[in-house]
């Protein structure tokens, strides 16, 4: 009966987590943000982070960039998701930063889920330099993040990965997994149909390999699972058709132009 009380074996992290880039050289895509001489690249290379909002589609590297910023500054990395965190959890992060001798990078995922009062609670800590805030959102921050907070942050737009970028990530995954294999057209299909979302592509590949680990992944498998996948272009088109009423938060946001360091 002793085996009933033995600790369960640790489950391996998802493939996307295991393949998260540890250095800038490992990052695929986002050349417009990470090129030599860019503000974000300089912040990472110099170890002098600044507060920022990272916005863009899912699976484009927002969390990865936040971790690289913290690593470059040798700062403590604190992470919360606004989906399940509130003001109490934010106060805890700020208090720990207040009593910590080194720098703190506070990564707040889904920052658009915080209401105005919750976002306002971040302002003093950002202004005083207690934390370097990195907010991440898939929404347009002009609509969803307070003007006061935006004015204290640099704004960086991440773009959906190109199919060639996703293909590189999938090939790295196969190399990481050793004996795993996939047909070239299966990788091409995943690269095209996951809308520039590397995490979704890796998740689909991982599921395919787990379903039948003895055989290479064929193009037939992802086609049956990804037939309903929407492209990044479709998501962007849906977003731009959203209407706003005069006097609403979205309407007011159109009159603001947050500080941005990206070029189109």
List Cα–Cα distances, 250 to 136, 142, 143, 206, 259, in angstroms.
19, 8, 5, 39, 18
In a domain, 24, yes or no: no
In three-state secondary structure terms, 123 is: helix
Same domain, 154 and 49: yes
* Distance from C-alpha of 24 to C-alpha of 57, rounded to nearest angstrom: 20
**Tally of helices (H runs) and strands (E runs) in the chain:** 15, 5
Same domain, 119 and 196: no
Nearest in space to 60 (alpha carbons), one of 30, 23, 19, 21: 30
Share of the chain above pLDDT 90, in %: 56
In a domain, 238, yes or no: no
In a domain, 8, yes or no: no
Beta bridge partners of 157: 55
| Both tokens assigned to 214 | 């003895």
Look at phi and psi of residue 36 and say left if phi exceeds 0, alpha if psi is from -120 to 50, else beta. Answer: beta
Residue 50 and residue 43 in contact, taking contact as beta carbons nearer than 8 Å: yes
Q: Write down the residue that tokens 């007011």 correspond to.
A: 252
Same domain, 103 and 174: no
CATH code: domain of residue 120: 3.40.50.300
Same domain, 181 and 208: yes
CATH code: domain of residue 200: 1.10.8
Same domain, 111 and 198: no
Cβ partners under 8 Å of residue 183, min gap 6: 216, 217, 218, 219
Same domain, 130 and 189: no
Same domain, 224 and 184: yes
CA 215 from centroid of its chain's CA atoms: 32
State pLDDT tens for residues 108-130.
999 999 988 889 889 999 999 99
Same domain, 64 and 152: yes
| Both tokens assigned to 73 | 């500054």
| Both tokens assigned to 86 | 């509130």
Same domain, 142 and 65: yes
* Distance from C-alpha of 81 to C-alpha of 110, rounded to nearest angstrom: 6
State pLDDT tens for residues 150-177.
999 999 999 999 999 999 999 999 888 8
| Both tokens assigned to 209 | 């390999």
Same domain, 43 and 122: yes
In a domain, 72, yes or no: yes
In a domain, 97, yes or no: yes
Nearest in space to 198 (alpha carbons), one of 52, 33, 19, 23: 19
In a domain, 12, yes or no: no
Same domain, 124 and 189: no
Top mean pLDDT of 8-22, 35-49, 239-253 is at 35-49
Q: How many domains does the chain have?
A: 2
Q: Which domain holds residue 183?
A: 163-229
Residue 178 and residue 214 in contact, taking contact as beta carbons nearer than 8 Å: no
Q: With bands split at pLDDT 50, 70 and 90, how would you rate the model's confidence at 260?
A: very low
Same domain, 155 and 167: no
* Distance from C-alpha of 264 to C-alpha of 259, rounded to nearest angstrom: 14
Max Cα–Cα distance, the chain, nearest Å:
68
Confidence at residue 13, expressed as pLDDT on a 0 to 100 scale: 80
In a domain, 4, yes or no: no
In a domain, 20, yes or no: no
State pLDDT tens for residues 173-220.
988 887 678 888 889 999 998 899 999 999 988 888 887 666 667 656
């Amino acid at each position: 009966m002793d085996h009933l009380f033995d600790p369960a074996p640790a489950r391996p992290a998802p493939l996307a987590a295991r393949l998260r880039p540890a250095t800038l050289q490992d990052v695929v895509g986002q050349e417009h943000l990470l090129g030599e001489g860019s503000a974000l690249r300089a912040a990472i290379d110099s170890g002098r982070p600044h507060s920022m909002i990272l916005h863009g589609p899912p699976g484009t590297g927002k969390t990865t960039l936040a971790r690289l910023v913290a690593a470059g500054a040798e700062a403590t990395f604190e992470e919360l998701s606004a989906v399940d965190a509130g003001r109490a959890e934010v106060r805890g992060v700020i208090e720990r930063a207040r009593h910590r001798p080194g720098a703190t990078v506070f990564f707040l995922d889904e920052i658009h889920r915080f209401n105005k009062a919750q976002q306002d609670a971040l302002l003093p800590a950002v202004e005083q330099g207690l934390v370097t805030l990195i907010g991440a959102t898939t929404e347009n921050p002009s609509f969803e993040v307070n003007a006061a907070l935006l004015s204290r942050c640099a704004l960086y737009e991440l773009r959906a990965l190109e199919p060639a970028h996703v293909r590189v990530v999938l090939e790295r995954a196969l190399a990481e997994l050793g004996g795993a294999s996939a047909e070239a057209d299966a990788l091409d299909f995943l690269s095209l149909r996951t809308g520039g979302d590397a995490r979704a592509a890796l998740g689909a590949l991982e599921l395919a390999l787990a379903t039948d680990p003895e055989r290479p992944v064929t193009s037939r498998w992802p086609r049956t699972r990804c037939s309903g996948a929407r492209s990044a272009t479709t998501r962007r088109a849906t977003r731009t058709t959203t209407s706003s009423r005069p006097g609403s938060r979205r309407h007011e946001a159109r009159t603001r132009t947050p500080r941005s360091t990206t070029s189109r």
